[in-house]
A = this chain, B = another copy of it.
Amino acid sequence: MTSPERDFVQAHLDDLHADLDAWVRIPSISADPAHGPDVAASAEWLADALRRTGFPTVEIWPTAGAPAVYAEWPSADAGAPVALVYGHHDVQPVDPLELWEHPPFEPTRVEGPDGPELHGRGASDDKGVLVVHLLGLRAHLAATGRDTPAVTVKVLVEGEEESGSPHFEALLRERRDRLDCDVVVVSDTGMAAPDVPSAVTAMRGLADAEITLRGPAVDLHSGSFGGAVPNPLHAMAELIAKLHDDQGRVTLPGFYDAVRPLSDRERELMARVPFDERAWLAGPAASRATSGEAGFSTLERTGARPTAEVNGMWGGYTGPGHKTIIPAEAHAKVTFRLVSDQRPGEIGPMLRAWVEANVPEGIEAEVHAPPGGVAPCASDLDSPLMDALLAAIGQAFDTAPEDVLLTREGGSGPEAAIAGELGAPLLFLGVGLPTDRIHSPNERVLLPMLHRGAEAAAHLWRELAAR
């Protein structure tokens, strides 16, 4: 379905490609202090690009960590809604470097089975997914013949998302008055497949904790003491084994109390998302089998249900050969993924009480659960804002709005904090793909997805203004 927006985008693809190429060349790895200047350069690059695009106000906002970029382009229309685009300009580390087929910061075009790809760190997450807004906004203006966008467009792009956004909430509070908006447009997610236009509608929250179990005051000789004093590693194993029941449910009392049950409509919507489990296992999951909570599909398990995963466990002797000890301590790192309306701050105390009730005599337990965490978040499926998003995506992907599928993102980000701090609803417009290998070697983006994304972004401002 042709449109002035599509025509403009198609006529200016080189601009999009050149922008992404230039941005990916900047190794803005926020986790590595040595790349601090690169993260700053990435912010400067984006600020320039926003100025080029026409934003009258563009600012670099320093934080206690990496700088964020803010821009604002007011609509001349009285009463026009205000949209805030969120994304990040920092990228993941690149190790193991030897697994990259092309240097991660020398963006390389590769012809793939679904069309041209651009390979490079950040090509998808989040530089590619975010850069569509530059061309998208130009297409919106050109197609509608306007001098200012139909909605006031604000842009907030942080520089520490890949490091857990440690200073982002403080920034939101500090700049609260500048960030007032009617809707937050998150551009840091993906679609189900190249031929399956879809929109994320929810992200899981996160709570993390570290469990330490202490037995003997020192490592003991397992010959002299073995079999007669409690071994913290045995106690940890028993604890972690008890964390799930035989139905794959988390056993912390009260864990599911605040979980909103999936409605029949939500389950039906999720079931429409095409999902080849065999291909998923052989590909991204790289796993021999599925497992998890009984009664739920894999997409429900990863997107719509809360989980507990042990991310690390250690204790005792871990070097070559053997050392015959009963170790003094055992440790486990656990993260919980949360769904609405679970609250991350309640998980730590819940875990602490459960651990204390479940360690054997002679074992002392400590549960370190940092405050904070990430709340789950979701779009309102029945809002006119959602209608605008689905209409925009539908037009860009030549699909009826009701055929744009709704997905859920299993990961967690600062989106809930933005929505909470600003009191604004969330929409997710993101054109990454599950096969983009984000966070891994050979990250890439499918360029036709970016072309569609720029068009969807152009449509979105018009659609939002019309509601």
- A interface with B by C-beta (< 8 Å): 164, 204, 206, 208, 210, 215-218, 220-231, 233-234, 236-244, 248, 281, 284-293, 298, 301-302, 305-307, 309-318, 321-327, 330-333, 335, 337, 360-364, 409-412, 434, 439-440
Contact status of A313 and B316, CB under 8 A, knowing A227-B337, A301-B228, A333-B322: yes
Residue numbers in B under 8 Å from A335 (CB-CB): 222, 226, 322, 324
CA distance A286 to B221 in the complex (A): 12
Residue numbers in B under 8 Å from A440 (CB-CB): 218
**Interchain CB contact (< 8 A) of A225 among B238, B248, B285:** B285
CA distance A284 to B224 in the complex (A): 10
Contact status of A316 and B322, CB under 8 A, knowing A226-B410, A337-B223: no
**Interchain CB contact (< 8 A) of A316 among B226, B239, B312, B409:** B312
A19 to chain B, nearest CB (A): 27
B311 touches A325 (CB 8 A): yes
**Interchain CB contact (< 8 A) of A222 among B241, B311, B314, B324:** B311
**Interchain CB contact (< 8 A) of A411 among B210, B224, B233:** B224
A231 touches B309 (CB 8 A): yes
* Copies of this chain assembled into the complex: 2
Residue numbers in B under 8 Å from A305 (CB-CB): 227
Using CB atoms, name the residue of chain B closest to A412: B223
**Interchain CB contact (< 8 A) of A410 among B217, B225, B327:** B225
B228 touches A286 (CB 8 A): no
A356 to chain B, nearest CB (A): 14
A45 to chain B, nearest CB (A): 27
B313 touches A315 (CB 8 A): yes
Residue numbers in B under 8 Å from A330 (CB-CB): 313
A234 touches B240 (CB 8 A): yes
CA distance A375 to B291 in the complex (A): 41
Contact status of A324 and B206, CB under 8 A, knowing A238-B241, A241-B238: yes
With A288-B362, A311-B322 known, 10 other A-B pairs at CB within 8 A are: A210-B322, A221-B439, A225-B410, A227-B248, A237-B237, A291-B360, A312-B327, A313-B315, A313-B318, A322-B333
B226 touches A337 (CB 8 A): yes
**Interchain CB contact (< 8 A) of A309 among B222, B243, B306:** B222
CA distance A217 to B220 in the complex (A): 35
Contact status of A302 and B226, CB under 8 A, knowing A244-B234, A286-B217, A287-B362: yes
A241 touches B230 (CB 8 A): no
A292 touches B227 (CB 8 A): yes
Using CB atoms, name the residue of chain B closest to A362: B289
A317 touches B322 (CB 8 A): no
Residue numbers in B under 8 Å from A223 (CB-CB): 204, 206, 337, 409-412
Using CB atoms, name the residue of chain B closest to A439: B221
A285 touches B318 (CB 8 A): no
**Interchain CB contact (< 8 A) of A364 among B231, B281, B288, B309:** B288
**Interchain CB contact (< 8 A) of A362 among B290, B298, B318:** B290
A237 touches B226 (CB 8 A): no
Using CB atoms, name the residue of chain B closest to A438: B221
Contact status of A322 and B227, CB under 8 A, knowing A241-B241, A316-B311, A440-B218: no
CA distance A363 to B289 in the complex (A): 8
Q: Give the one of A231, A241, A242, A310 with max B CB within 10 A.
A: A310
B314 touches A313 (CB 8 A): yes
Residue numbers in B under 8 Å from A309 (CB-CB): 222, 226-227, 231, 234, 324, 326
Using CB atoms, name the residue of chain B closest to A317: B312
Residue numbers in B under 8 Å from A333 (CB-CB): 316-318, 322-323
A466 to chain B, nearest CB (A): 35
Contact status of A337 and B216, CB under 8 A, knowing A237-B236, A315-B313: no
Interface CB pairs A-B, < 8 A, 26: A206-B324, A210-B322, A217-B287, A226-B309, A227-B337, A227-B410, A228-B292, A228-B301, A229-B281, A229-B287, A229-B289, A229-B290, A231-B310, A234-B244, A237-B241, A237-B313, A241-B241, A288-B362, A288-B363, A309-B324, A311-B325, A311-B327, A313-B315, A314-B318, A318-B333, A322-B335
A21 to chain B, nearest CB (A): 26
A281 to chain B, nearest CB (A): 8
What 4 A-B pairs have minimum CB-CB distances, sorted nearest first?
A289-B362, A223-B411, A227-B307, A237-B240
B361 touches A224 (CB 8 A): no
